[in-house]
Amino acid sequence: MRIQYTTFTVHKRFPLTISRGTTAQTDNLWLRVEAEGIEGWGEASPFSIGTYRESTETLLGAVQQVASLLEPLHPLQRQQVEQLLEARGVPRALRAAVDTALHDWLGKAVGMPLWRLWGLDRQRIVPTTVTIGISSPEVAQQRTRDWLALTGAKALKVKLGSPEGIEADKMMFEAVREALPEGVSLRVDANGGWNLQDALNMCQWLAQRGVEYVEQPLPQGMEDQLAELYRQSPLPLFADESCFTSADVPRLAGRVHGVNLKLMKCGGLSEAMRLIHCARACGLRVMFGCYSDSSLAITAMAHLSPLADYLDLDSHLNLLDDPFVGATLQEGRVIPNDLPGLGVQRREDSA
C-alpha cells in the first residue's frame, strides 16, 4: 500500500482553556493509504499529558520513518501493521491515523459504513456534550449562550480545576448554571486540577447542583488516591488522563466508575474496541472524548458511538476551518452517514 501524508492547521472559534493551558490552533496530520485503487483516510492530532507529549513534529518524524516499512503490507493486514507500529514505538496519534485509514479502506472496499460493518445501531448514539473552558464567570456565561445557540446542545461539559482555586471554579460554574435552560445536563472535567481534599469538597458541592459526573478529578499519577475519592464521592468519577489503553482499565476498576477513551490516546479504532470491551468486563462505563480533532477523527469515533454511555465529541464544532465533512449534528447527536468507510469527504469536494 502507498502512504501519503500532509499537515493541516485548524483554528478554534473559541480558544479552549483547561487546567493545563490554552489551545487556539493545532497542526494535525492527514494520512492516506492507497491500494487497489481505494484510498483510506486517517488523522493524527498532537496531544500532551504530563510527561507524555506528541507534537506535530514528532508525528511527522515518525511517519517519515515508518512509511516505507508499511508499503509492502496490504490494508487488510491490520494485525501485522499494528505489531510493526508497536515494535517501532510509533506515537499513539500516528497509530490512530494509520489504523483509522485501514478501517476506512476496508469499509470502502466492501461498500459499507463502519457502523453497519460492525453491526451497530445509530439510534443508540447519545447526545454529545459541548465544552465550556476555564474563564471568568462573565465569559463562561456568554460562551454557554453562544454554544447553545450554535449547536442546540443537550449537555454541557464545564472545565474546572482553575489555577486560581476551587472558589474560582465555583463562581464560574454558578455563572454557567445561571445561563442554562431547562433540560440541558451538566458534567464537569477537572483535567487533574484538584488535590484530594479539593476534589472531595467539589464533588459534594457539585452533587448538590445536579452534575452528572466528574471527570479526572485528580492528576495523572495519583490513582491510589482515587480509591479514597471513589469511596466518598456522591458523584460518579471518570478517568481520562489516567487511562490510555485497555491495559490501564483493570487497575482503575474500583477507583472510578468509568473511563474516557480518545482515538489519539489509545492508538486507533482497533484498540478503542478492545478498551470498550475491557471496560465492560470490569463493570465500568464508557465515554468517548477528543483533542483538537477535525471531522475526520471525530467521524471515526462516531461510528463506534453506539457502544458509549457518554460522548464528548465536539472539537470539530469549535473549528473555523475544518477541512473535512462527515458525521453531522442531529438534535445534539453526532451521527455518521451511510457512505462507505468513514463517510468523510474534503469540504471543498462536498460543496
Q: Which pLDDT score is estimated for 205?
A: 98
Confidence at residue 19, expressed as pLDDT on a 0 to 100 scale: 65
Per the structure, the count of domains in the chain is 2
Q: Which of 61, 81, 111 is the last residue of a domain?
A: 111
| pLDDT the model gives residue 220 | 94
Measure the CA–CA gap between 100 and 324, rounded to whole angstroms: 15
pLDDT given at position 163: 93
Same domain, yes or no, for 102 and 79? yes
* Same-domain status, 75 and 176: no
Prediction pTM value: 0.96
SS3 content of the chain, % helix, strand, coil (to 5): 40, 25, 30
Report residue 18's pLDDT band, with 50, 70 and 90 as the boundaries. Answer: confident
Assign residue 287 the CATH number of its domain.
Answer: 3.20.20.120
Look up cell 489503553; give the residue. 245
Q: What is the mean pLDDT of residues 191-217?
A: 97
Structure confidence at residue 38 (pLDDT): 98
Q: Which of the listed residues 66, 81, 111 is the one where a domain comes to its end?
A: 111
Maximum CA extent, the chain = 59
C-alpha 326/C-alpha 187 separation (Å) is 26
Sign of CA dihedral 313, 315, 319, 325: negative
Mean pLDDT computed over 334-341:
98
Any idea what the CATH number is for the domain that residue 87 is in?
3.30.390.10
What pLDDT sits at residue 12?
A: 92
pLDDT in the model for residue 351: 62
What residues contact residue 305 under an 8 Å CB cut-off, 6+ apart?
A: 125, 126, 288, 311, 313, 334, 336
Residue ending a domain, among 111, 132, 165, is 111
24 — pLDDT class (breaks 50, 70, 90): confident
Q: What is the torsion angle, in degrees rounded to the nearest 10, for the CA atoms of residue 217, residue 218, residue 220 and residue 223?
A: -110
Q: Which pLDDT does position 21 carry in this prediction? A: 75
Judge whether 285 and 258 are in contact, CB under 8 Å. Answer: yes
Q: What is the pLDDT of residues 54-90, one digit of tens each?
A: 999 999 999 999 999 999 999 999 999 999 999 999 9
| DSSP code per residue over 247-276 | GGHHHHBTTBSEEEEEHHHHTSHHHHHHHH
Whether residue 16 has pLDDT greater than 70? yes
pLDDT digits (tens, 9 = 90+) for 274-317: 999 999 999 999 999 999 999 999 999 999 999 999 999 999 99
- pLDDT score of 158: 97
283-294 pLDDT, tens digit each: 999 999 999 999
Quick check: helix, strand or coil at residue 26? strand
Determine the 3-state secondary structure of 196 from DSSP. Answer: helix
Please indicate, yes or no, whether residues 83 and 156 belong to a single structural domain of this protein. Answer: no
